[in-house]
Structure 1
């Protein structure tokens, strides 16, 4: 559920809002506080879709509060509340702090308050959707579904390729390799060792685009300690 943080330092105004919210039952969750420092703390630790704040504060100025709010949670849509006599004071930082809406007090009705809040929520939804669409579009520039299918198909072809190549090389080795003084178990172990080695090497060569040095170094690191004793060619 979407969350709205409301800062109303005036106790009478705060209680009026709380009473109306209990009656109206908005579609979003909310918290109303009279302390801007509490609002900033909540903003830091809880995902907040819309922040509504009175600009006449005792501890901070409206500019300071909204500047800090923007730094803490840049994705939160900010809405300012003020009275007619303070409008000139906040015009200087409306753009600077990215204030989306301005609620003029006193509100003649609850609609005068809730409509800007709902508009800010809708703006937040649209902004998030636009960001998601852009991210998806950027992803599609690099990897489409067909790209992934081609990569998967190429991977299967590579697997078949090095298996076939390993079989060919193993056949040649069996025809020309003489293993002296080895029983059947030793020959079996040698054959599987060579098969593993060849498969690993061919796989490395395919995936490293024919980099022989890379294939050699990986084989040396992974197989040098496993080389069987008493092998003569």
Structure 2
């Protein structure tokens, strides 16, 4: 297990990234906010966190989206927050991923796919990109619904690179990471113990939360470095999504 660097030991922090400070890409059909710098878009300080290098907050207008385009050697986790997205790829997979569903696409040695909002309403989603442990594997696609409302205030593992999580029902990814989420009611508090040397990135959706006394407004992000315990308190009803990075 990697030990924290001297910089990390001296900078155990929660770095708040307000929504309005994020990089922005806008087209007539797409509004995207970038929690991590992509190319020349976004703040230079918003660099990758371990294998996590993309977290986009996307809004697709009705009847719009990306046509066929290529990816290789990236693990892509899509969490749909509202509406639905339709997936099609070059290895024969198709699916409609609606709100509450999670999609994992392991691009492996190469895959082409399209992702479109074929609905009559706006689609909102988080798309998270992680660097894989192993290059040039066979491409893979899967999806699953997670009913977070059934267990409010509990962290649920949506996708993971750890065998025990996959055996318990999480979608498999080939990355040293876990993607977790929790629906929280106003006034609820949950605690999450970080394993040694772990880092994390957390985003809220529709309401405010306090993360170790750092206040996040709706759709704000927070990079967590060096903290061993996260105490998350919901000010409003909301859902939080978090990527915890590192091998357990």
| TM-score interval (norm. to shorter) | under 0.3
Which structure has the larger Rg?
1
TM-score calculated relative to the size of structure 1: 0.23
Tell me which protein shows more strand as a share of its residues: 2
| TM-score normalised by length of structure 2 | 0.22
